Amino acid sequence: MIKVVNKSKLHHLYPDRFVVGLTGGIGSGKTRVARVFAELGAGIIDTDAIAHQLTAPGGGAIAAIRSCFGDEFITDQGAMDRTRMRECVFSDRQKKHSLESILHPMIREEVVNLASRLAGPYLICVVPLLSGGDDWKFSRILVVDCDEDNQIQRVMKRDGLSKELIQSIIRQQPSREQRLAFATDVIQNSADFDSLHPEIERLHKIYLQLSSAIQTDYL
Ligand code: ATP
């Protein structure tokens, strides 16, 4: 069943754009699902890629990270030292919060900027750690759901991380139940990937329909 889009959800952050937030746990398949939406014509915004740009040499967040965390968190090349930062924020909630308060507003600003420029009848914005608040003002939230065993197997294969490390990362992310509670749409990705295509195409048609309704109404 299609939920009717509530006009009050069309926030001025993204004038005239229908923006779907796409989230899911580590290794759930967000990137692969987003790639299929891109092939179908959607514009894709990847907040992980934005965070990487902001923390690369010369990136917009480097000065603030240096002043908050110190020179030792910046490499000789001028990028954020990812390994050091990961270890630091993994064990210290306050530091994690400090890093997020530097990065999140900058990421959001760039998302708004991209949303106004990207082509595509609607946009898919991939946000790995979406936690259910309405901060992002997305028109819909699509969750890629996957059981934990599959997440672990896939990330072990993709990144060569240990099972224990992946489990501890999963524990730090919003739980599967939390994500499902705020989803407007869900894609189940626990079976083989090709079986997802019909579901992605079904959602694509719904998003096309809803986005064209918005654009007509705004004219
Ligand atoms: P992360 O949050 O870590 O960036 P992600 O949610 O973007 O992960 P992907 O990178 O899309 O997840 O998928 C994780 C790995 O699992 C990739 O190597 C991908 O090719 C693989 N994968 C995704 N879906 C399936 C599937 N249904 N069957 C088998 N492998 C899959």
Could you tell me the CA-to-CA distances from 36 to 28, 33, 39, 133, 201 in Å, in that order?
15, 5, 5, 27, 9
Cα 145 to ligand 1 centroid, rounded to whole Å: 11
Give, for all 219 residues of the chain, the pLDDT tens digit: 344 444 444 457 888 899 999 999 999 999 999 999 999 999 999 999 999 999 999 999 999 999 999 999 999 999 999 999 988 998 898 999 999 999 999 999 999 999 999 999 999 999 998 877 778 889 999 999 999 999 999 999 999 999 998 998 899 899 999 999 999 999 999 989 999 999 999 999 999 999 988 754 443
- Report which ligand 1 atom has the smallest distance to the Cα of 126: 7
Measured CA to CA, the distance from residue 73 to residue 78 in angstroms comes to 10
DSSP string, 36-59: HHHHTT-EEEEHHHHHHHHHSTT-
- Report which ligand 1 atom has the smallest distance to the Cα of 192: 27
Ligand 1 pocket, residues with Cβ under 6 angstroms: 24, 26-32, 128, 154, 158, 189, 192-193
8 Å CB contact between 14 and 112: yes
Domains, in order of start, for the chain: 7-218 (3.40.50.300)
pTM, full prediction: 0.90
The torsion angle over the Cα atoms of residues 75, 77, 83 and 85, rounded to 10 degrees, is 50
Choose which residue among 22, 28, 32 to substitute to test ligand 1 binding: the one with the highest number of ligand atoms within 8 A of its C-beta: 32
Tokens in use for 159? 């990144």
- The residue whose CA is least distant from atom 11 of ligand 1 is 29
Burial class (CB in 10 A: 0-12, 13-18, 19+), 193: exposed
